[in-house]
Structure 1
């Protein structure tokens, strides 16, 4: 009989983190906002809650370790070779945009921007090049996981970036009309670049 581990078995301390574990790391941050969506996604991946907690614990230990490899190398070690690599200009500087597919979000890619010295400038989810962008015109379109930071920024310009409350979090402040044409002040909160919730006033 084969002696391989069950695919849903938690990793041991010596088991390398996998792309599945990385998706669980992203979900762990999103659980602070949308526990029900995260539970549904975890069941879709076919893993127990204990594995999500363990994957997040091991990821945090890896990135905080004084012996850790560079952040860029860490992403490559866990996710493998990127699906695409492109040179991009940000302001007056050049960087590499490295992208990986994640099965849980087939219309998105995990993008890491890496500077010339190997420093990670940014790491978040973006829309895949061949995937249709969401239609964002009114407040009601801003549902959890419906759009990325850059999509909301373009749709509701001018949007003002806000400091995130924790690593992997971003915020945007802008005005948006509701379905009746009434404009509201909105703060949109994102985890790993994906919309989690909106706070509306006015």
Structure 2
């Protein structure tokens, strides 16, 4: 396995990381630079586009995430539980990522069942 990271001048707090598992498998994602401040992820309103990476959301109080779809590049979809600001009840939301960077959050469909047990 090989990997490399590069700083991004247009996003000073992020780096692009490329990981080659086998010659045919190349994964890429945005990661927070080690010297950059971590995002404050405390409420649903903190989850704005490009505010965090998939790894940061999973490590936050919203984790653990239920990874639903995607292969670590574009179109990753993960579910998490949070107190819904409208109802005051815990409910599932879906977080959509491209290259592991949050794009948007939306309520999960009512038929989605949280598989990871009680929180």
The corresponding residue for 1:107 is 13
1:193 aligns with one of 95, 100, 107: 100
Moved over 3 A (4+): 117-121, 178-182
Q: How many residues matched? A: 106
Unaligned runs of 5+ in 2: 111-119
The alignment status of 1:128 with 2:49, answered yes or no, reads no
CA distance in 2, matches of 1:130, 1:138: 24
TM-score, length basis structure 2: 0.76
Q: Is the 8 A contact 1:99 1:112 kept in 2?
A: yes
Please give the per-residue CA displacement for 1:12-66, whole angstroms capped at 9, x wherever unaligned. xxxxxxxxxxxxxxxxxxxxxxxxxxxxxxxxxxxxxxxxxxxxxxxxxxxxxxx
Unaligned runs of 5+ in 1: 1-94
CA distance in 1, matches of 2:65, 2:23: 29
TM-score, length basis structure 1: 0.47
Higher-RCO chain (CA-CA 8 Å, sequence separation at least 6) = 2
Q: Is the 8 A contact 1:140 1:179 kept in 2?
A: no
CA distance in 2, matches of 1:199, 1:187: 5
The corresponding residue for 1:44 is none
- Alpha-carbon RMSD: 2.3
Greater helix share, structure number = 1
- Which is higher, the Rg of structure 1 or of structure 2? 1
